[in-house]
Amino acid sequence: MLRNRKYVFDLSDLQYKLVKLHWKVKLLRFFLWFSVSIIIAVLYGTVFENIIVSPKEKMLSQQVENMKLQYSLIGRELDNSIISLNSFRLSDDRRYRPILEMDSIPESYRMAGYGGIDRFRDMTGYMNSDLFISTRSKIEKIKNMANVQNESFKTVAERSAEWKREMDHLPIISPVDVKFRLGDGFRLRIIHPVLGTSRKHNGQDFPVPYGTEVYATGDGKVIESGWNSGGFGNCIVIDHGYGLQTTYGHLSNIKVAMGMNVKRGDLIGLSGSTGLSSGPHLHYQIDKFGQHMNPVNFFNNDISVEEYNEMIQTLESESKFR
């Protein structure tokens, strides 16, 4: 018998006869066979995809897991960077700016350019979109915070340099050794020791021996050096900037010339009794924007003689290297 052929025994003529199927039956059998084949193929593909993993797929899966781990580690480092930047921010707002009398940076400026819901549209729709968006968001936040903080520190550094310059120019030490007691201060004199009439005393006197060393009390420029016709005799006036001027009167010797720049602690003259003076002393005066100020409010007279001498020596050493 030939394969795929079917025969039946006909009792009427005692012979085997070939069975011929109708074309509709053949067509139906073909569709049944085709449908079963499709179902088997789908089942096989599903089983292969979910149970049997190819080496390439296994490698790709491992790479994805490694990438997710790397992103997680990067996220932790970014979180640490944000914490560090916040620490800089707190130091900026609570330490440096208050000391330098600077305003805090407004929150609106610190967060400028940060926000918006459509910034990461190109990263949506993927299996790990949340991980990508979170990492990129942190990077942008750090970038913005770092830029703002960098600009802030630049302004703080500029203000710090100006503040240091201002501190250097302030007249904040005693013009003579603190071992000498203070004389007449900032007050109205009932009887002037020379004129014999009441007269306001606009400075601080230091009754020191003739030839006592007199020092500049702050950085500045000598704007007067010589005889003063207003009663101070040999006199030095230093302009310290910021509206401040200091006057050193009744000197016996002047060691600086007009136009010279001096540093705090520089020797500028020797005490004497020139001008309207009843005896050797130094008249020291501070004026701010033309208004007379009480000098004792500008320097500390409670330090020891040793501390004062050490301070003068240090200032002299620094002045040589400036």
Supply the pLDDT for residue 1. 44
Whether 284 and 229 map to the same domain: the answer is: yes
Task: In whole angstroms, give the CA distance from residue 265 to residue 138.
Answer: 53
Read off the pLDDT of residues 12-24 as tens digits, 9 standing for 90 and up: 666 666 666 667 7
Q: 169, 195, 210 — which closes off a domain? A: 169
Q: Where are the beta strands (DSSP E) in the chain?
A: 7-10, 15-18, 187-189, 199-201, 204-206, 213-215, 220-228, 233-241, 244-254, 261-262, 267-271, 282-288, 291-293
Whether 200 and 275 map to the same domain: the answer is: yes
- pLDDT, greater one: 260 or 199: 260
Task: In whole angstroms, give the CA distance from residue 55 to residue 65.
Answer: 15
Residue 175 counted as domain residue? no
Whether 158 and 36 map to the same domain: the answer is: no
Q: What is the CATH number of the domain that holds 208?
A: 2.70.70.10
Read off the pLDDT of residues 169-181 as tens digits, 9 standing for 90 and up: 999 999 999 888 8
pLDDT grade for 195, boundaries at 50, 70 and 90: very low
Return the closest-CA partner of residue 176 out of 214, 132, 232: 214
Whether 73 and 89 map to the same domain: the answer is: yes
Instruction: Kindly report which listed range (126-130, 237-241, 274-278) carries the lowest average pLDDT score.
Output: 126-130
- CA 313 vs. chain centroid, Å, equals 35
Whether 18 and 85 map to the same domain: the answer is: no
Residue 180 counted as domain residue? no
Whether 220 and 309 map to the same domain: the answer is: yes
Whether 196 and 241 map to the same domain: the answer is: yes
- Residue 157: pLDDT above 70? yes
Whether 42 and 121 map to the same domain: the answer is: no
Concatenate the DSSP letters of all residues of 172-234 into one string.
-S-SS-TTSPP-S-SEEESS-TTT-S-EEE-SEEE---TT-EEE-SSSEEEEEEEEETTTTEE
- Residue 81: pLDDT above 50? yes
Residue 181 counted as domain residue? no
- Residue 210: pLDDT above 90? yes
Whether 147 and 264 map to the same domain: the answer is: no
Q: 106, 139, 169 — which closes off a domain? A: 169
Look over the chain and give the mean of its residue pLDDT values, rounded to a whole number: 81
Residue 182 counted as domain residue? no
Residue 265 counted as domain residue? yes
Task: In whole angstroms, give the CA distance from residue 218 to residue 264.
Answer: 4
Query: Count of domains in the chain?
Result: 3
Q: Which of 33-47, 181-195, 198-212, 253-267 has the highest mean pLDDT?
A: 253-267
Domain that holds residue 24: 7-48
Whether 109 and 30 map to the same domain: the answer is: no
